């Protein structure tokens, strides 16, 4: 293990301790194709079913389709209805979705569909009433994220789904749960949410595996056709290794939920205590946000400049979504009404239970030094 302090857990997470033994078992004797008919393959099919049940148990889902990532799950739902009708329809999403939701809706607009982008309120959240006000008779789908990946704001997705269905019971509701999955409790069985997305690499499993949870009555038209895997919804030989590690990580998180959550809260708290007296520090994240994501601004220091100077000192943070980090303008900051030096000075620090309170305090101390140094340079 190196000496870096990794504080970019919203971008991806270190695989959980049990991953190595699952990978080893897979390479040795769990590599059979689960669709084959001999005993070893039937055993794989049984394991696959059990792994999927474990993954579903995290949100009490009735059904799941395993995909390659959160991006694929989101694309699958958003383009699902659009491929079904010749008549243009209406969609609602938020202005601060992750690019893999936002860009799908931009594409639907290009194809002639109508899309309404709802803005977050002053509390950083999407209000159920604001969404319900936009629902029309022809609204096919509403997609609102569970936890915002830049600020950690937690949306009341069940409340929004119910408000939407009150206006139009036929409108389907999807939530991108990539940053919320497991970390923020969500019970799909009790909710009015039809589709919920998760991604394995955000919860200490491997890249290349995602999930699309759906209720038994949620319609879905497959667009990857072939051997009929995933109940005909997504053909292609299953990524049994990725799924087993995903299930292992979910099982580990669920059985240690209170411990991991309290470790994250402690890591965040000690970080906050070490930076709050840096002059002009502004916490952008809402106080009731998800504990693992913290957005902070140090006005007078550009976020990217701070990120690079911290990187040379072994601290890994980000200025926002890793997928959009190369884009100059931050659409999420615009949606939140943040501009000027406040917006330019924003960095995102994201935690996991692998972080200790000691190391996050140390990282905070180094941030203090770098912020004060960079501000001095700026004023010269
Ligand atoms: N949605 C949100 C909110 C995310 O934060 C991310 C990744 O950062 C994604 C979707 C994309 O997930 P994946 O990397 O599995 O495609």
Domain of 131 in residue numbering reads as: 19-253
The residue whose CA is least distant from atom 8 of ligand 1 is 11
* 378 C-alpha to ligand 1 centroid (Å): 35
For residue 380, being part of any structural domain is answered with no
CATH of the domain at 337: 3.90.1150.10
* 254 C-alpha to ligand 1 centroid (Å): 21
CATH of the domain at 241: 3.40.640.10
For residue 170, being part of any structural domain is answered with yes
For residue 145, being part of any structural domain is answered with yes
The binding-site residues of ligand 1, defined as CB within 6 angstroms of any ligand atom, are 69-71, 98, 100, 145, 149, 176, 178-179, 199, 210, 321, 323
Task: Summarize pLDDT for 222-270 with one digit per residue, the tens.
Answer: 889 999 999 999 999 999 999 999 999 999 999 999 999 999 999 999 9
Same domain, 24 and 65: yes
Same domain, 149 and 249: yes
The residue whose CA is least distant from atom 9 of ligand 1 is 70
Report pLDDT for 320: 67
- How many domains is the chain built from? 2
Q: Which of 19, 28, 50, 1 is nearest to 249 (CA)?
A: 19
Q: Which of 2, 1, 19 is nearest to 203 (CA)?
A: 19
Query: Is 323 tagged catalytic?
Result: yes
d(Cα 246, Cα 353) in Å, to the nearest integer?
17
Task: Summarize pLDDT for 72-115 with one digit per residue, the tens.
Answer: 999 999 998 665 556 789 999 999 999 999 999 999 999 999 99
For residue 347, being part of any structural domain is answered with yes
Answer whether residue 174 shows pLDDT above 90: yes
Same domain, 195 and 322: no
Same domain, 259 and 341: yes
Same domain, 43 and 96: yes
Same domain, 243 and 283: no
* 148 C-alpha to ligand 1 centroid (Å): 10
The position carrying tokens 């699902």 is: 80
Confidence band of 379 (pLDDT split at 50, 70, 90): low
Report pLDDT for 329: 74
Report pLDDT for 298: 97
Q: Whole-prediction pTM value?
A: 0.96
For residue 340, being part of any structural domain is answered with yes
Catalytic residue among 69, 100, 104, 323: 323
For residue 31, being part of any structural domain is answered with yes
Give the mutation target among 178, 210, 335 for probing the ligand 1 site: most ligand atoms within 8 A of CB: 178
Same domain, 109 and 164: yes
């Amino acid at each position: 293990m190196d000496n870096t302090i990794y504080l970019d857990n919203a971008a991806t997470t270190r695989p959980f301790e049990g991953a190595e033994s699952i990978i080893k078992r897979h390479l040795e004797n769990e590599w059979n194709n689960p669709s084959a008919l001999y005993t070893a393959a039937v055993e794989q099919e049984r394991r696959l079913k059990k792994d999927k049940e474990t993954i579903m148990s995290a949100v009490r889902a009735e059904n799941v389709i395993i995909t390659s990532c959160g991006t694929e799950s989101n694309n699958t739902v958003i383009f699902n209805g659009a491929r079904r009708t010749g008549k243009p329809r209406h969609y609602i999403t938020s202005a601060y979705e992750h690019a893999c939701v936002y860009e799908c809706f931009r594409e639907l607009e290009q194809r002639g569909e109508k899309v309404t982008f709802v803005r977050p309120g002053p509390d950083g959240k999407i209000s159920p009433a604001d969404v319900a006000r936009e629902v029309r008779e022809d609204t096919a789908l509403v997609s609102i994220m569970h936890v915002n990946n830049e600020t950690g704001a937690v949306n009341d997705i069940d409340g929004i789904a119910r408000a939407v269905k009150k206006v139009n019971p036929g409108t389907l509701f999807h939530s991108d749960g990539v940053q919320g999955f497991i970390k923020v409790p969500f019970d799909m069985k009790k909710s009015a949410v039809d589709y919920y997305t998760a991604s394995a690499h955000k919860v200490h499993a491997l890249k290349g595996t995602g999930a699309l949870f759906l209720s038994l009555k949620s319609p879905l038209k497959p667009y990857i056709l072939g051997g009929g895997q995933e109940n005909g919804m997504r053909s292609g030989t299953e990524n049994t290794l990725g799924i087993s590690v995903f299930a292992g990580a979910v099982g580990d998180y669920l059985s240690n939920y209170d411990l991991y959550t309290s470790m994250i809260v402690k890591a965040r708290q000690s970080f906050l205590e070490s930076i709050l007296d840096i002059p002009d520090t502004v916490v952008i994240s809402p106080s009731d946000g998800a504990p693992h994501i913290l957005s902070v601004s140090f006005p007078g220091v550009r976020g990217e400049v701070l990120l690079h100077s911290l990187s040379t000192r072994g601290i890994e943070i980000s200025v926002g979504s890793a997928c959009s980090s190369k884009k100059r303008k931050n659409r999420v900051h615009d949606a939140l009404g943040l501009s000027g030096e406040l917006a330019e000075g924003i960095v995102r620090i994201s935690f996991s239970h692998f972080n200790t309170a000691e190391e996050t305090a140390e990282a905070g101390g180094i941030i203090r030094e770098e912020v004060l140094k960079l501000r001095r340079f700026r004023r010269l």
